[in-house]
Structure formats: C-alpha cells, structure tokens
Amino acid sequence: MRAKELFCVCLVLAIAAGCRKKSEPIVETEPEPIEYFAVFMEGEKVGYVIASRVVSDEEVRTSEKVSMTISRGGIPVTINTAETGIETIDGEPLGFELEQRLGTVVMKMAGVVEPNGTVSMTTSSMGSEQKSTLEWPQGAVMAEGLRLLTLKKGLKEGTEYSAKVFSASVMQALDAKIRIGPKRDIDLLGRVVSLTEVTTTMNIPMAGEMVSTSYVDSDLRMQKTIMPIAGMRVEMVACAKEFALGKNDVFEVINKMFVKSPVSLGQADKASAITYTLSPIEKAKLIIPSADSQQVQVADDGKVVVTVKPAAPPAGARFPYKGRDETILEALKPNRFLQSDDAEIIKLARRAVGSTKDAGEAIRKIEAFVAEYIEHKDLSVGYASATEVAASRQGDCSEHAVLAAAMCRAVGIPAQVVTGIAYVEEWAGLQGFGGHAWVRAYVGGERGKWVGLDAAFKGAGLGGYGAGHIALAMGNGEPADFFNLATTLGRFKIDKVIVKK
C-alpha cells in the first residue's frame, strides 16, 4: 500500500511545479515479482507505476517507479521518479535510494540509516555531490515495515491503526491513520473483483489531511487507489504490463488549476490591499497561513477571510542577517533545490546586488535580475533546482522562485519559496487565480519583515508580487512544500473580493 504516498507526491509536483518535457521513462530491466498500475486523472490515463519487492537473506528492497505525462497549456510534461526502500526482513529501516527526473537533469539521493539513529545522505546533481546528515524520524517505517504491520493487524472490518510512514521523495515521515472497511465488488478496468476497502488518512503538517481509499486482495496487494488531489479525482489501478506502459491520453490540467474570481481585478498588483472571502467546498477545512503580507480570519461557518497587503521592507536594513531566530536562520541554509553555496549562484547574486548594502534594495535587485536572466519563459521545464536554472536560463514560475531564493540566501538574506495562487486577467483564455510559486525574503533584524518577490510576474510585465497573490505554504523549495497546494486547491471558491486602491 506504500505506492499511494509516492504517487501522491509525484502528482503534486507534476501539477504544481511542472515537469520535464519529453523525458524518457526510467524503465529498463525489472526484478521479479513486478506489479503494474495505470494512473488516471479525471478518467484519463496519464501514466503508470511499477512496483517490485525483492527479498534476500539479509534485506528487503521495495521499489516503485512512476511515470506520468500531462499537458500544461498544450505543452506535454513528464515526471519520472524511482524510489527504493531498503529494510531488514523484520522491517527495520536500513536506507533508501531516490532518482528524480523533475528538471533538465537527474537528481539522485541515497541515505543510510546509521545505528545511532542518524541518516548519512548523499545528493548528486549536475556532476556535483553533497554530503549531509539528518535525524531518522523516531518510529518511522518504510514499505516492509508497513507491510508487516498490516499483516499483523489483518483485514477485519472496523480495524483501525496508525503508522508513521517515511518517504524519501519529501524527506519526511507522515502520520497515517488506517481503517479497514467492508468488502466490495470493484471494477478493475472491466474486471470485477471482490476486494477489501482500506481508507488511509495522511496528516500533513501545515496542510491538513489527505484521504485515499484503496482496495486490496486477500494477500494485501493493492489493486486500486482513489484520492482527490487539487480538486481532481486521481486513480491508480492494477493492470497488465502492456496497458500500463501503453499510450497515454492527452490530459490538460491548466483549466483544472484555476480558481474563478467573482469579479475582474484588472491590474491586481497595483492594489494596496485585497480582501478575499474563501468558502470551503463540501465542508472542507481550509488551512491558510498568516504572514506579514497576509492576514487570515476563520469564521464560525468555516469561511476564511484573507487580506493580502504587501509588506514593505524596513528602511535602512542591512545584510547579511545576524539575528538568532531559528526559523529565519533555517531560511539561510543551502539544500538540494536551493544551492546557495554553489559558486555560480554566489557569483550571480553578487552581480545582482552590486555595491548596495541595503537589504530592501538588494532583494528588489535580485527580483529584477532573475526576471531578466531567465530568457526562455515557458512551461516545458520541470521543477529544476537553482543550479539547473542558472545553467539553462529557462523555466516558469517555480524556476524563477528557486533561483531568486537561492540568490537571496547566497548573500545572507533569508528567503523561502512560497506556493499558492495568483491572479491573472487573461492567460490561455482563462481569468482567475492559478497555481503559482514566488519568494518571500526576510529584511531586517528582530523587528524585520518577510517581503514578497515575484520574478516570474515581473518578467511578464505583471508588476511582481502584489495583493493578487494568496499564499498557501512557505518552505525551502522541497517537494513537501507543495502538499498544501494539493490538499487545498479545488476545495474552496472565492465568494467575495474587496479591492483597496
């Protein structure tokens, strides 16, 4: 049943950030036994999952390979990932391997769980290699550990249990609640089979819950999974190899990713503030973060009132940041997507800020620099890292965001990647709020502010960050940051808008 978590993560990246165009599937020779699944979005076939479990005398290796292709604005984009969990035959974690083709090059990660509870990590991309160490989440299991727990609990209707499931794709352990339901006759692409229903509720920090419904056979092998993601029905169904690896449909996601505006906002970036009333669909619980530029109030009826008023940088603030706030200090560190310690990123950042010592001026210079530096602005590039963008000078909003955030960090200005929705008056025949990524940078000392930057909008002549942006999550540019977009988008509508000039 582990495929659900990786499947979810991959789809979030494919929708929210975009993926590589015309990349080749990571499928060559496979160990036995192998299971094949077709992936559907709104009834259209978009890809496949290949799962295998290999047992030796000392370890169990559980692997999943995922390939999905969607269309964004008429441009086909593909995401490919391969993840392997390595455990003892008793389900104790030993390590993991991950290969992601999300951008123009391959990113590989390998982790070894040490006896002292730490994880020795190696990340390689574009010929460079980074070493790091992190703490293994206490009590977390991977595929084999979860399988053994499920065997122990059985398939009796009404059985409930919890698990902490680690995924290398998001480098997190997510809390899961599992409930065994009744047997049902399930259609598996024309073949009706009696299967047991299993509901899994994943508790995602700062993003709420994601619920999936799976159907398993008597050997606990998953045959079908259904989950809502970004307001769309997504399914994974067991099938023959030929069908799983066969031709995909052309599924356009752009119109699925838009939230309608009740009124035209025109040039939203010119408004001093905009107040939005968000109404949940089907009693969904909305989790919208507050920030310096965004104030949130939740009403008794579940509606959420969001007021976006862009924060101005404090005058005369200097950089680098010399405070002690742990959250702000975390926003200075390099990682696998924001390589702020890379020589080329440092060079670009220094070139952008020039001789200025004012932090507010520096972030505006970085915003303007990235807007001009990325020459090819299109949807054909995937979720590339900052170093990839620096080399290719190509991409959409996510590429602008990771490069700008990394450059801010490179000169000592804390920065985070923000995911959410942003208003456009017209794009590909659509009007409203589309999934988007931008940056917020911290300017000042103890009484500083997080200030919004949007190099993608600035490069498109839309004024940069403004009151037309509604943030759903802030983070370090990691895939986990997109969870809130997946769990929230499609679960609300905008009832009312008040614009303050």
Read off the pLDDT of residues 327-346 as tens digits, 9 standing for 90 and up.
999 999 999 889 999 999 99
Per-residue pLDDT at 29: 39
C-alpha 252/C-alpha 42 separation (Å) is 10
C-alpha 347/C-alpha 295 separation (Å) is 36
Per-residue pLDDT at 75: 75
> What is the 3-class SS of 334-399, one letter each residue?
CCCCCCCCCHHHHHHHHHHHCCCCEHHHHHHHHHHHHHHHCCECCCCCCCCCHHHHHHHCECCHHH
Per-residue pLDDT at 7: 41
User: What would the pLDDT profile of 181-222 be if each residue is shown by its tens digit?
Assistant: 999 999 999 999 999 999 999 887 766 788 899 999 998 899
Q: What are phi and psi of 426, to 5 degrees?
A: -160, 125
What the block records as the tokens of 305 is 């009132």
What the block records as the tokens of 87 is 């455990």
Decide if pLDDT at 21 tops 60. Answer: no
Q: How confident is the model at residue 10 (pLDDT cuts 50, 70, 90)?
A: very low
Cβ(7)–Cβ(225) below 8 Å: yes
Instruction: Give the global pTM.
Output: 0.85
268-500: CATH, from 3.40.50.970, 3.40.190.10, 2.30.40.10, 3.10.620.30: 3.10.620.30
User: What would the pLDDT profile of 347-374 be if each residue is shown by its tens digit?
Assistant: 999 999 999 999 999 999 999 999 999 9
User: What would the pLDDT profile of 252-291 be if each residue is shown by its tens digit?
Assistant: 877 777 899 999 998 898 999 999 999 998 877 888 999 9
Report which of residues 317 and 124 the model is more confident about: 317
Q: How confident is the model at residue 180 (pLDDT cuts 50, 70, 90)?
A: very high
What the block records as the tokens of 63 is 């692997």
In degrees, rounded to 5, the angle at the alpha carbon of residue 485 between the alpha carbons of residues 479 and 489 is 155
The lowest-confidence range among 212-216, 382-386, 470-474 is 382-386
C-alpha 375/C-alpha 370 separation (Å) is 9
Decide if pLDDT at 298 tops 60. Answer: yes
Q: Residues near 155 by Cβ (< 8 Å), separated by ≥ 6?
A: 180, 196, 216, 218, 220
Could you tell me what percent of the chain has a pLDDT over 70?
91
HSE-CB of 163 using CA atoms within 13 angstroms: 23
User: What would the pLDDT profile of 217-258 be if each residue is shown by its tens digit?
Assistant: 998 899 999 998 888 899 999 999 999 999 999 888 777 778
Domain ranges of the chain: 3-252, 268-500
Decide if pLDDT at 315 tops 60. Answer: yes
